[in-house]
């Protein structure tokens, strides 16, 4: 503990940039590394989940993500469920503009009501392609569209917010009872953001199949500046991994998956996230660099269009290659933003590990 003054103590938190993976006593061939990740009845070739952000996920890119071995999650509060044809909205959002103009434009475009029939249509389009179907809503919208999600049929449902608790207190509104909601669904529910041991344990006890660790949108959100809320990701993942171990014993063997969601912009970050205890990662900014990304290099998250308190901004990334190249290579950049799978595979091979679960036990060092 660190003493800030006579009345306040604080713990030290570490980001992914603060830690490094320590080499082990052996190395292995890359061909021996198995990156498969299984959650519920679905097995993925790679432990990579595409973040539900309009700048990277459309029905088409969600389908492509599934074909590449990962999971694409569609934002069910985004442009694709507000407009039959979102192309004009994308045209406006990808025009050069200062942050004030861009934010006002987003607030205006996202004021269009969400349409239940479009939620069903977009999810049906993904299902017709034969890949796993996943959609995301914020906690505030989950109750409103729960019946629609059930009718549409998804393989995974994601409840994603800046911070999500199992004990939201509100005396004036019909709020989401997370435990009742999760047990009502026949599909795995992934819930987050979450960044502390105690919060994670509550979400696990509520029945979450997976916990999103972090606050998402690391490259685009300004939550730390607006709200002062931030937990460095290496510490957050390690804390939640400890909660998972304790819950595994408490529940008699129920395993909850941990998905690092935030500050995962390079393949090295993915390796560090898993080394700290994650089963998979949720990524956004690397995918914004793909030529198929609907944002055309512009990248923004759901925090950016809040009507009264935006906590995000639009940023631009140079497009570097196809979605397949960003995820599975080959890469022509030396910075870890392409061939995310190859970077993780090589990190595991260099340190002698052949699967995700064993790699979680590797030693890490603090800079």
The mean pLDDT of 223-242, rounded to a whole number, is: 89
Q: What is the pLDDT of residue 59?
A: 98
Q: Picking from 68-72, 100-104, 119-123, 166-170, which range would have the lowest pLDDT averaged per residue?
A: 166-170
Tell whether the model's pLDDT for residue 217 goes beyond 70: no
User: Are the C-beta atoms of 136 and 76 separated by less than 8 Å?
Assistant: yes
**CA–centroid distance for 31 within its chain:** 28
Q: What is the pLDDT of residue 215?
A: 78
Mean pLDDT (the chain, rounded): 92
Q: What proportion of the chain, given as a percentage, has pLDDT over 70? A: 95
Tell whether the model's pLDDT for residue 164 goes beyond 90: no
Q: Which of 364, 354, 295 is nearest to 93 (CA)?
A: 295
Q: Picking from 208-217, 223-232, 233-242, 245-254, which range would have the lowest pLDDT averaged per residue?
A: 223-232
- Determine whether 186 is exposed, middle or buried from the number of CB atoms within 10 Å of its CB (0-12, 13-18, 19+): exposed
pLDDT band for position 140 (cuts 50, 70, 90) = confident
Q: What proportion of the chain, given as a percentage, has pLDDT over 90? A: 74
Tell whether the model's pLDDT for residue 38 goes beyond 80: yes
pLDDT tens string 43-65: 999 999 999 999 999 999 999 99
Residue 75's DSSP bridge partners are 136
pLDDT band for position 169 (cuts 50, 70, 90) = very low
Listed ranges 65-69, 143-147, 307-311; the one with the highest mean pLDDT: 65-69
Q: What is the pLDDT of residue 70?
A: 98
CA–CA gap between residue 25 and residue 9 (Å, rounded): 39
Q: What is the pLDDT of residue 46?
A: 97
Tell whether the model's pLDDT for residue 171 goes beyond 60: no
pLDDT tens string 295-331: 999 999 888 888 899 888 899 999 999 999 999 999 9
pLDDT tens string 249-308: 999 999 999 999 989 999 999 999 999 999 999 999 999 999 999 999 999 988 888 889
Q: What is the pLDDT of residue 229?
A: 79
CA–CA gap between residue 237 and residue 260 (Å, rounded): 7
More confident residue, 169 or 211: 211
Residue 262 Rama label (left phi>0; alpha psi -120 to 50; beta): left
């Amino acid at each position: 503990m660190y003493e800030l003054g006579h009345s306040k103590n604080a713990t030290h938190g570490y980001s992914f940039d603060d830690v490094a993976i320590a080499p082990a006593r052996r190395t292995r061939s890359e061909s021996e590394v198995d990156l498969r990740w299984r959650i519920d009845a679905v097995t993925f070739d790679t432990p990579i989940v595409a973040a539900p952000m309009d700048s990277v996920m459309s029905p088409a890119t969600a389908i492509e993500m599934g074909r590449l071995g990962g999971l694409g999650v569609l934002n069910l509060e985004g442009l694709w469920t507000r407009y039959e044809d979102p192309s004009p909205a994308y045209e406006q959002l990808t025009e050069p503009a200062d942050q004030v103009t861009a934010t006002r434009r987003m607030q205006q475009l996202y004021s269009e009501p969400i349409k239940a029939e479009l939620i069903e249509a977009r999810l049906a389009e993904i299902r017709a392609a034969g890949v796993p179907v996943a959609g995301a809503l914020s906690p505030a919208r989950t109750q409103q569209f729960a019946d629609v999600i059930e009718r549409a049929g998804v393989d995974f449902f994601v409840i994603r917010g800046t911070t999500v608790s199992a004990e939201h207190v509100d005396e004036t509104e019909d709020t989401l009872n997370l435990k009742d909601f999760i047990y009502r669904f026949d599909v795995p529910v992934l819930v987050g953001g979450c960044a502390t041991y105690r919060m994670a344990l509550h979400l696990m006890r509520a029945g979450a199949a997976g916990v999103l660790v972090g606050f998402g949108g690391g490259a685009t959100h300004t939550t730390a500046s607006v709200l002062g809320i931030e937990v460095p990701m290496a510490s957050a993942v390690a804390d939640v991994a400890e909660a998972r171990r304790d819950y595994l014993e408490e529940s008699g063997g129920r395993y909850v998956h941990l998905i690092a969601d935030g500050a995962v912009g390079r393949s090295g970050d993915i390796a560090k996230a898993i080394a700290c205890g994650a089963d998979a990662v949720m990524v956004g900014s690397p995918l914004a660099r793909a030529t198929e990304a609907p944002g055309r290099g512009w990248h923004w998250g759901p925090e950016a269009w809040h009507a009264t308190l935006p906590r995000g901004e639009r940023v631009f990334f140079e497009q570097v290659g196809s979605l397949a190249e960003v995820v599975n290579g080959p890469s022509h950049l030396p910075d870890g933003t392409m061939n995310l799978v190859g970077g993780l595979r090589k990190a595991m091979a260099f340190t002698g590990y052949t699967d995700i679960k064993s790699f979680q036990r590797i030693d890490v060092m603090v800079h």
